[in-house]
């Protein structure tokens, strides 16, 4: 009776002895392995699979027996024609069995008829991989912020102060010079140092805008837009509808996403005008960046996407990842020839490790 039930099982089942030799096989195993039972029984498992799945079994410790819970792994069937077929394998030992028998349930990864247990395990593995990816992304972004702060402090405390001191010495030297040619050369040197100092100040702003902490998101955004206007001759507008100032971690997250959106306008939009709206919605913060540039190329009509970003726009991809990490979202809408709108939302109290802490 047991043998008939085993043979009729809907899954591809094989039973291995302690030496890894097949002792029993279900009818479904014949179809999956492409061999009749007589050709399966007596073969070593590593003749049928590219690896012995029993290696996934935990080593017994302290004389404790297996609890009979299934262990999951993957392998591939060595088919008679030499091809390999990827499979999921579920192993189960028999509690209290001293002979070392192991039951394998084998599922074709490409089939639509996976067992519920295999499907649940695959979903769990994908979820674990997603969590690990989010945690890794969070670590990268947090480390990036720490490195930005370190570089900004180093530039301010070292390079910028050295340049400032050099400019003061040049001013002192100017009072001693009389020759017009010498004064002209000195003026060029002062201009070069002033340009270097200005670039370093901008670098410090990009890494850690000073007003973000002291004056808030709107003030830092105003400076960001002023830089866009100066460097790219754009008309800029800021519409601040915030009723309260976001907490500093949320402020930093919003500003980093704003930087990416504004950089996208500068690099890709070919715009004459850019507007930023800071607001609140659904117990969170909503930011909208609108430009009147070229919009989405080779696209007719209206395009809106929660997940897809235009090819080559790495900044938008980074924005999407930051928003997802914080439990928020980003939407991009564009009309060819009529500009682009980037809208993003993050919950109140979000920061760069919101999901990881949840």
251-297 pLDDT tens trace = 888 998 998 899 889 988 889 999 999 999 999 999 999 999 998 75
* Two structure tokens written together for 305: 């996407």
User: Percentage of the chain with pLDDT > 70?
Assistant: 69
The 3-state DSSP class for residue 343 equals: strand
Residue with tokens 């247990």: 117
Distance between CA atoms of residues 50 and 74, nearest Å: 10
The 3-state DSSP class for residue 34 equals: coil
pLDDT given at position 353: 55
pLDDT tier for residue 301 given thresholds of 50, 70 and 90: very low
**Buried residues in 313-328 as b, exposed as e (16+ CB within 10 A):** bebbebbbbbbebbeb
What is the per-residue DSSP string for 215-268?
Answer: T-HHHHHHHHHHHHHHHH--EEEEEE--SSPPPHHHHHHHHHHHHHHHHHIIII
User: Higher model confidence: residue 136 or residue 47?
Assistant: 47
**Buried residues in 25-36 as b, exposed as e (16+ CB within 10 A):** bbebbbebbebe
Reply yes or no on whether the pLDDT at 348 is more than 50.
yes
Q: Long-range contacts of range 91-100, CB-CB < 8 Å, 24 or more positions apart? A: 91/53, 91/54, 91/56, 91/57, 92/68, 93/57, 93/66, 93/68, 94/68, 95/65, 95/66, 95/67, 95/68, 96/65, 99/17, 99/18, 100/17, 100/18
pLDDT (tens digit per residue) in 78-123: 988 888 888 888 888 876 667 788 889 888 865 544 455 555 555 6
Distance between CA atoms of residues 330 and 341, nearest Å: 11
Reply yes or no on whether the pLDDT at 136 is more than 70.
no
Reply yes or no on whether the pLDDT at 52 is more than 70.
yes
User: Higher model confidence: residue 318 or residue 152?
Assistant: 318
Reply yes or no on whether the pLDDT at 176 is more than 60.
yes
52 Cβ contact list (under 8 Å, min separation 6): 20, 45, 46
User: Higher model confidence: residue 155 or residue 51?
Assistant: 51
Most confidently predicted of 89-103, 183-197, 275-289, 328-342:
275-289
* Sequence ranges of the domains in the chain: 2-114, 129-208, 214-358
* Superfamily holding 2-114: PAS domain (3.30.450.20)
Helix %, strand %, coil % for the chain, to 5? 50, 20, 30
Least confident of 12-26, 108-122, 226-240, 331-345: 108-122
> How much is the average pLDDT of 164-191?
81
pLDDT tier for residue 11 given thresholds of 50, 70 and 90: confident
* Two structure tokens written together for 355: 């999901």
Distances in Å between the Cα of 294 and the Cα atoms of 87, 269, 272, 312 are 49, 6, 10, 16
Least confident of 16-20, 48-52, 184-188: 184-188
Reply yes or no on whether the pLDDT at 332 is more than 60.
yes
CATH code, 129-208:
1.10.287
Domain 214-358 has CATH 3.10.180.10: no
Least confident of 58-72, 164-178, 245-259, 312-326: 58-72
Reply yes or no on whether the pLDDT at 309 is more than 70.
no
What is the per-residue DSSP string for 86-151?
Answer: EEEEEEEE-TT-TT--EEEEEEETT-S---HHHHHHHHHHHHHHHHHHHHHHHHHHHHHHHHHHHH
User: Higher model confidence: residue 41 or residue 141?
Assistant: 41
- Residue 240: Cβ-neighbour burial (10 angstroms; 0-12, 13-18, 19+): middle
């Amino acid at each position: 009776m047991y043998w008939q039930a085993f043979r009729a099982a809907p899954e591809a089942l094989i039973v291995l002895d302690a030496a890894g030799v097949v002792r029993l096989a279900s009818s479904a195993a014949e179809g999956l392995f492409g061999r009749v039972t007589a050709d399966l029984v007596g073969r070593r498992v590593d003749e049928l699979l590219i690896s012995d799945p029993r290696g996934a079994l935990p080593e017994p410790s302290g004389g404790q027996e297996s609890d009979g819970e299934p262990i999951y792994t993957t392998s591939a069937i060595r088919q008679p024609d030499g091809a390999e077929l990827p499979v999921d394998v579920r192993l189960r030992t028999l509690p209290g069995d001293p002979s070392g028998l192991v039951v394998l349930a084998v599922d074709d990864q490409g089939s639509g008829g996976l067992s519920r247990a295999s499907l649940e395990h695959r979903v769990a593995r994908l979820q674990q991989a997603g969590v690990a990816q989010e945690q890794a992304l969070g670590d990268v972004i947090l480390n990036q912020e720490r490195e930005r702060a370190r570089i900004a402090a180093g530039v301010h405390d070292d390079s910028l102060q050295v340049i400032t001191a050099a400019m003061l010495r040049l001013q002192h030297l100017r009072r001693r010079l009389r020759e017009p040619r010498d004064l002209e050369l000195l003026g060029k040197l002062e201009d070069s140092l002033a340009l270097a100092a200005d670039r370093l100040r901008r670098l410090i702003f990009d890494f850690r805008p000073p007003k973000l902490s002291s004056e808030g998101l709107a003030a830092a955004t105003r400076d960001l837009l002023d830089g866009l206007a100066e460097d790219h001759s754009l008309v800029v507008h800021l519409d601040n509808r915030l009723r309260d100032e976001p907490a500093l971690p949320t402020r930093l997250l919003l500003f980093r996403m704003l930087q990416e959106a504004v950089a996208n306008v500068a690099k890709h939009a070919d715009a004459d005008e850019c507007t930023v709206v800071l607001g609140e919605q659904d117990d969170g913060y909503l930011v909208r960046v609108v430009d009147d540039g070229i919009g989405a190329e080779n696209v007719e009509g209206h395009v809106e996407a929660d997940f897809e970003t235009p090819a080559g726009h790495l900044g938008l991809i980074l924005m999407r990842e930051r928003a997802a990490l914080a439990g928020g979202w980003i939407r991009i809408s564009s009309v060819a020839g009529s500009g682009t709108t980037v809208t993003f939302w993050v919950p109140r109290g979000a920061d760069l490790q919101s999901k990881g802490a949840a």
